[in-house]
């Protein structure tokens, strides 16, 4: 499909899994009702709670959350990048942070495990050590769909441009970034990183973020965005739960790549 509507969904997920999935279903339904063919959800969309409770909330894929997401995709006949949730890793005390893509019939098209783990300490603002409870993935992942080729990533991955260049080299046209970016780091870097990944890889970027206050005690940034291959912000959410949409034009992407062929001109890899 050459032109279609895409949506990013912004949620305020917490430790109530049933509430999270119900609210996510409502927002996906809203996006589909407005004509979205591709919908992207945020990181840790199904459950988000204290780190010491994470082992009790991991699950296999297929499993309850993947089945719920597959049902949403099938119900609304959309391609769904289903945010992320905690996948059983086989390592005691640790899990993968995993995103899945589902087709219009609910089929699982791809799975990506977050490669870069958020181990950060900003005094007085944010202290997170994901590696204490999460295991890193290892494989960059693209997936061909009827809407174009998606390049998959999650949140902190956004700071590592080499991942996105590999995705672009593998054919990605749309880069999806389910996220839970914190307010301090988001205010400083979210916009410039999302736009940079779009510009340098000449791709659309769909970045869906969490909003509100996280269970870990700090604020999320919100500001979910859709950015075109020229770096233009096509849609931006506020700081509450909701949906924003924009048109994806694959001919525009090809035109940008043709007129300013930086990908073709690259000398280093």
Please, which residues bridge with residue 40 across strands?
Answer: 8, 81
Residue 72 CA, distance from chain mean position = 17
Closest CA to 178 of 229, 141, 215, 128: 141
Tokens, residue 141? 């992942």
Q: Report the number of secondary-structure helices (H) and strands (E) in the chain.
A: 7, 15
- Residue 162's contacts (CB-CB under 8 Å, 6 or more residues apart) are none
Q: Which residues of 21-34 are buried (b: 16+ CB within 10 A; e: fewer)?
A: bebbbebbebbbee
User: What number of CA atoms fall less than 13 Å from residue 25's CA on the CB side?
Assistant: 16
**Cβ–Cβ under 8 Å, residues 42 and 10:** yes
Kindly list the catalytic residues. 43, 114, 155
Tokens, residue 258? 């043709």
């Amino acid at each position: 499909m050459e032109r279609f509507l895409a949506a990013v969904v912004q949620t305020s997920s917490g430790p109530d899994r049933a509430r999270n999935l119900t609210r996510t279903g409502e927002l996906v339904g809203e996006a589909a009702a407005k004509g979205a063919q591709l919908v992207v959800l945020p990181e840790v969309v199904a459950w988000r709670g204290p780190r010491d409770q994470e082992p009790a909330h991991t699950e296999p894929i297929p499993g309850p959350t993947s089945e719920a997401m597959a049902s949403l995709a099938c119900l609304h006949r959309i391609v769904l990048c289903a945010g992320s949730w905690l996948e059983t890793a086989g390592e005691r005390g640790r899990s993968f942070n995993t995103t899945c893509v589902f087709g219009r019939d609910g089929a699982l098209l791809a799975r990506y495990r977050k490669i870069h783990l958020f181990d950060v300490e900003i005094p007085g603002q944010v202290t997170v050590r994901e590696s204490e409870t999460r295991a890193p993935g290892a494989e960059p992942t693209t997936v061909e769909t009827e809407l174009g080729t998606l390049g998959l990533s999650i949140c902190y991955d956004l700071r590592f441009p080499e991942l996105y260049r590999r995705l672009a080299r593998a054919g990605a046209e749309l880069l999806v970034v389910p996220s839970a970016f914190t307010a301090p780091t988001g205010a400083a870097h979210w916009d410039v990183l999302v736009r940079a990944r779009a510009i340098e890889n000449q791709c659309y970027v769909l970045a869906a973020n969490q909003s509100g206050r996280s269970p870990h005690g700090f604020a999320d940034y919100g500001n979910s965005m859709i950015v075109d291959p020229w770096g233009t912000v096509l849609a931006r959410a506020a700081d509450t739960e909701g949906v924003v949409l924009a048109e994806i034009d694959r001919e525009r992407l090809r035109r940008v790549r043709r007129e300013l062929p930086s990908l073709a001109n690259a000398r280093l890899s």
